[in-house]
């Protein structure tokens, strides 16, 4: 039972943060696509902006790792 | 690296101004500053005023602007591939061109107008030609005698053919034939063949039904139908021949005169830019004064050239840089050959300020390192190494591709080195085939160790960024900001010590002094960074944690490689297994190029550069000659 709860906690840590990242990236991505259509020279900036929310899932991953390997 | 700039004042007698500007333009190392503020000592500002050009300069400028527009008109009419090069000296070319440009311009305009009229006619005739070709096919099956009349029609709706057939049969009492065909553009073309005396009545009926006879250009309207087709074709051929003749004449003209016109245009543009620059020059009662910036390394060269040409009548003075100059010193970047390809990434950022740092060397050092740490596979690294070498061989003349290939070359070498450190060659295939063992750590199993390693790399990288920020603040004489950066570094190190002590990587009894030091640093943080300092500190901690992606993305990569090998083994067949493994490793390899690239760049742009890089620099734009040679080459390549 304890193992199952640990696994669930790790899954929630990474799953919820992944959902949050996905939502943020969807908003930034759609705005970024519009930006690139108008100003192609901002492509690099947009790629970086899209990558920024990934910190959330990385932090979730760190927490999940700590839960599983503590 | 940001090139060190010198603040320069050039002064000399007014009559030498244009010659001095010509020399400055030839050297191409000097950016003229239009505002004298900061260059002229206090107390003498009133004696230095903007230069008023004399009548000769104004007259020359007007003449050259007029000549330039004439040359542009002639060159616009010439076919580009035919423009030849000219052995003439630009000044000699200018004299010849100036004498001929009026007549040539008028002749070129006339040729252009004739060509445009012929193109319009050809387009119109070609629209008819499609239909005429279909009619011609129909006419081939008709015997045309004296009393026979032909009517051509175009139907928009193919379904109207039956209605037309009924109309023709009733209108001519059966003394006619309706033939239909589909033209190349999909329209339905009809040919009605009837006896001549019924033709007029039939045309009336068709007009009443809004089915007018096919109208050809006015010149062909009164001709009998078969004759119209022949004349239409004949005119198309004539128009094409006339166009070819005019184009040939223009090409001959371009070969003879194009090079001279290009040379003359180059000279005129350079001379005009020089004359326009006089508006940025200042004068005193007797002298001209030019203020500006140039690379410090080029100052002795400029002094030597001026001394050699003007024998000490023109002087160069290097002025001392003041605090207020720092914001407007232009920025030029120059890097050693190894770092130059990495300017591809630094060009994505706005230009740094003169007091800041060129981000290129940092990317050149850390980007391949992070790339290798994330990809970390000797097999994938070897494939990328071969791909980069192939790209360098195939596209040596394309600068962007060449730079990207060089970056990939260095990064793939790093991936190979880390691949041996992790013991990975296409995942665990190296271990299975060649007994490859990890030299340092096995990523698949040592997840926590890799996490600590990634965070340690992040701590070092972010701390380096903070230290560079501290140096930058010291250089700008902003003591409070410098102290805040230094306090943040101390706090980060205390926090790191606390974490490693709590996780028993260091002796646990170090935790207490670390906490005490951290608490002691909080007031200093607040005093130097304000109330936002705790948030800044937390952001920095978040930046360090963000480096965990080095481990996370790397782990995903190694697990994908492992999965490819496992699935290949499950097929139970060597050929299928190789295909499956090859496909999956290819997918992993593509991900392995994009993902480490984007993540490494992000770590630089967001986590690292935000700690010290100041954007908003003014690009160094020296006054120099424009060259026609490159344009001639590009025209020849067409």
Residue B83: pLDDT band by 50, 70, 90 thresholds? low
A13-41 pLDDT per residue, tens: 999 999 999 999 999 999 999 998 998 87
| B437, B423 contact by CB (below 8 A) | yes
- Interchain CB contacts (distance < 8 Å): A and B: 38
Q: Please give the average per-residue pLDDT across B543-552, as a whole number.
A: 91
Q: How many angstroms separate the CA atoms of B599 and B285, rounded?
A: 61
pLDDT band at B483 (very low <50, low <70, confident <90, very high): very high
Most confident of B161-175, B276-290, B407-421: B407-421
pLDDT over 80 (residue A69): no
Q: Say whether both B245 and B130 belong to one domain.
A: yes
pLDDT of residue B90: 67
Span B125-139, mean pLDDT?
78
Q: In this predicted structure, what is the pLDDT of residue B436?
A: 87
Pairwise CA distance, residues B451 & B503, whole Å: 13
Tokens 């839960």 correspond to A67
Q: How far is B599 from chain A (nearest CA, A)?
A: 8
Nearest 10 degrees: Cα torsion B349, B355, B361, B363: -40
Q: Would you call B599 an interface residue with chain A, using a CB distance cutoff of 8 Å?
A: yes
Q: Say how far apart CA B375 and CA B458 lie, in whole Å.
A: 17
- Of the three residues B246, B275, B304, the one that is the final residue of a domain is B275
Q: Which of B524, B545, B566 is the last residue of a domain?
A: B545
Distance, in Å, from the CA atom of B421 to the CA atom of B423, rounded to the nearest integer, reads 6
| Count of structural domains, chain B | 4
B142 and B196 in a single domain? The answer is: yes
- Clarify whether residues B302 and B355 are in a common domain: no
**Residue B620, in any domain of the structure:** no
What's the pLDDT at B45? Answer: 73
Token pair in block for residue B315 = 């002087």
B387 touching chain A per CB within 8 A? no
Residue B82 — very low, low, confident or very high, per pLDDT cuts 50/70/90? low
**CB-CB under 8 Å, A59 with B548:** yes
Q: What is the pLDDT of residues B227-262, one digit of tens each?
A: 777 787 888 889 899 999 998 888 888 888 888 888
User: Within this chain, do residues B296 and B404 fall inside the same structural domain, yes or no?
Assistant: no
Task: Please tell me if residue A51 touches chain B, with a CB cutoff of 8 Å.
Answer: yes
Whether residue A42 lies within 8 A of chain B, CB to CB, comes out as no
pLDDT greater than 60 at residue B631: no
Residue B637 within a domain: no
pLDDT the model gives residue B193 = 85
Domain that holds residue B574: 337-442+548-615
Q: What pLDDT score does B637 carry? A: 44
Quick one: what percent of chain B has pLDDT higher than 90? 29
Q: Are residues B209 and B83 in the same domain?
A: yes
Domain assignment present for residue B170? The answer is yes
Residue B362 has pLDDT above 90, yes or no: yes
**d(Cα B509, Cα B327) in Å, to the nearest integer?**
49
Asked whether residue B432 falls in the same domain as residue B564, the answer is yes
Token pair, residue B298, equals 């080029």
Q: Which of A48-62, B414-428, B530-544 has the lowest mean pLDDT?
A: A48-62
pLDDT greater at residue B487 or residue B56: B487
Residue B1 · residue B361 · CB < 8 Å: yes
Residue B414, domain member (yes or no): yes
- Does residue B226 surpass a pLDDT of 80? no
Q: Are residues B402 and B370 in the same domain?
A: yes
Q: Above 60 in pLDDT, residue B633?
A: no
pLDDT digits (tens, 9 = 90+) for B445-456: 888 889 899 999
**Same domain for B66 and B116?**
yes
Mark whether B167 and B192 lie in a shared domain: yes
Average the pLDDT over each of B121-135, B424-438, B579-593 and give the range with the smallest value: B121-135
Q: Do both B82 and B227 map to the same domain?
A: yes
CB-nearest partner of B552 from A48, A58, A69: A58
Name the CATH code of domain A2-69 (choices 3.40.50.720, 1.20.20.10, 3.40.50.410, 1.20.1050.90): 1.20.20.10
What is the rounded CA–CA span in Å between residue B284 and residue B11?
10
Give the CA angle between residues B424, B426, B429 to the nearest 5°.
80
B326: domain CATH number is: 3.30.70.240
Q: What are the domain boundaries of chain A? A: 2-69
| Token pair listed for B224 | 């009998």
Chain B CB contacts of A48 under 8 Å are 598, 601-602, 605-606
Check residue B225 and give its pLDDT.
Answer: 63
Gap between the Cα atoms of A11 and B560, Å rounded: 20
| B602 to chain A, closest Cα gap in Å | 6
| Same-domain status, B490 and B555 | no
Per-residue pLDDT at B636: 47
CA-nearest residue to B348 within chain A is A44
Question: pLDDT value at position B371?
Answer: 94
Chain A residue closest to B548 (CA)?
A58
Parallel, antiparallel or unpaired: strands B287-295 and B148-155: unpaired
**What pLDDT, on the 0 to 100 scale, is given for residue B322?**
83
**pLDDT over 60 (residue B349):** yes
């Amino acid at each position: 039972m304890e193992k199952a709860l640990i696994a669930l906690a790790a899954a929630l840590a990474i799953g919820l943060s992944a959902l949050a990242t996905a939502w943020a990236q969807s908003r930034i991505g759609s705005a970024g696509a519009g930006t690139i259509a108008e100003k192609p020279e901002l492509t690099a900036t947009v790629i970086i902006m899209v990558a920024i929310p990934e910190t959330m899932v990385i932090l979730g991953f760190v927490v999940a790792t700590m839960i599983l390997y503590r | 690296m940001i090139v060190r700039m010198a603040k320069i004042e050039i002064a000399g007698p007014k009559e030498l101004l244009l010659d001095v500007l010509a020399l400055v333009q030839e050297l191409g190392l000097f950016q003229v500053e239009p505002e004298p503020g900061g260059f002229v000592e206090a107390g003498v500002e009133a004696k230095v005023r903007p230069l008023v050009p004399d009548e000769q300069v104004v007259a020359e400028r007007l003449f050259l602007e007029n000549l330039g527009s004439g040359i542009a008109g002639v060159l616009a009419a010439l076919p580009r591939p035919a423009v030849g090069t000219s052995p003439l000296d630009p000044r000699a070319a200018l004299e010849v061109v100036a004498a001929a440009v009026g007549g040539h311009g008028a002749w070129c305009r006339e040729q252009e107008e004739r060509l445009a009229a012929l193109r319009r006619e050809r387009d119109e005739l070609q629209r008819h030609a499609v239909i005429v070709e279909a009619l011609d096919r129909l006419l081939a099956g008709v015997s045309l005698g004296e009393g026979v009349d032909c009517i051509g029609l175009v139907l928009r709706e193919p379904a109207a053919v039956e209605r037309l057939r009924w109309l023709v049969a009733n209108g001519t009492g059966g003394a006619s034939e309706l033939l239909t065909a589909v033209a190349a553009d999909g329209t339905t073309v009809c040919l009605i063949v009837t006896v001549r005396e019924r033709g007029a009545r039939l045309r009336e009926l068709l007009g009443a039904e809004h089915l007018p006879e096919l109208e050809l250009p006015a010149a062909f309207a009164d001709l009998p139908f078969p004759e119209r087709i022949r004349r239409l074709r004949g005119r198309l051929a004539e128009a094409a021949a006339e166009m070819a003749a005019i184009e040939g004449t223009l090409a001959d003209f371009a070969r003879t005169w194009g090079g001279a016109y290009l040379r003359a245009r180059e000279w005129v543009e350079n001379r005009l830019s020089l004359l326009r620059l006089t508006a940025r020059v200042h004068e005193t009662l007797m002298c001209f004064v030019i203020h500006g910036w140039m690379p410090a390394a080029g100052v002795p060269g400029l002094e030597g050239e001026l001394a050699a040409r003007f024998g000490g009548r023109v002087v160069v003075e290097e002025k001392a840089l003041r605090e207020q100059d720092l914001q407007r010193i232009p920025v030029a970047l120059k890097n050693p050959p190894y770092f130059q390809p990495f300017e591809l990434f630094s060009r994505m950022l706005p230009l740094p300020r003169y007091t800041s740092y060129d981000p290129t060397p940092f990317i050149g050092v850390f980007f391949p390192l992070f790339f290798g740490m994330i990809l970390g596979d000797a097999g994938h690294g070897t494939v990328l190494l071969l791909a980069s070498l192939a790209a360098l061989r195939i596209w040596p003349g394309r600068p962007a591709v060449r730079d990207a290939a060089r970056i990939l070359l260095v990064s793939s070498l790093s991936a190979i080195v880390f691949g041996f450190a992790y013991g990975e060659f296409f995942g665990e295939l190296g271990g299975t085939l060649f007994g490859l063992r990890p030299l340092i750590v096995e990523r698949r199993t040592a997840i926590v160790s890799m996490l600590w390693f990634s965070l340690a790399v992040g701590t070092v990288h972010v701390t380096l960024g903070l230290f560079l920020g501290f140096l930058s603040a010291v250089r700008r004489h902003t003591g409070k900001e410098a102290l805040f950066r230094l306090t943040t570094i101390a706090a980060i190190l205390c926090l790191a010590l606390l974490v490693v002590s709590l996780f028993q990587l260091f002796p646990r009894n170090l935790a207490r002094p670390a906490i005490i030091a951290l608490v002691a640093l909080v007031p200093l943080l607040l005093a130097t960074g304000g109330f936002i300092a705790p948030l800044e500190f937390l952001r920095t901690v978040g930046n360090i944690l963000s480096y965990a992606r080095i481990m996370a993305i790397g782990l995903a990569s190694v697990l994908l490689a492992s999965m490819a090998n496992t699935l290949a083994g499950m097929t139970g067949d060597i050929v299928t297994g190789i295909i499956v493994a090859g496909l999956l490793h290819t997918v992993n390899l593509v991900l392995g190029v994009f993902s480490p690239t984007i993540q490494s760049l992000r770590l630089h742009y967001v986590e690292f550069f935000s700690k010290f890089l100041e954007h908003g620099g003014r690009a160094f734009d020296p006054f120099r000659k424009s060259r026609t040679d490159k344009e001639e080459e590009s025209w020849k390549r067409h």
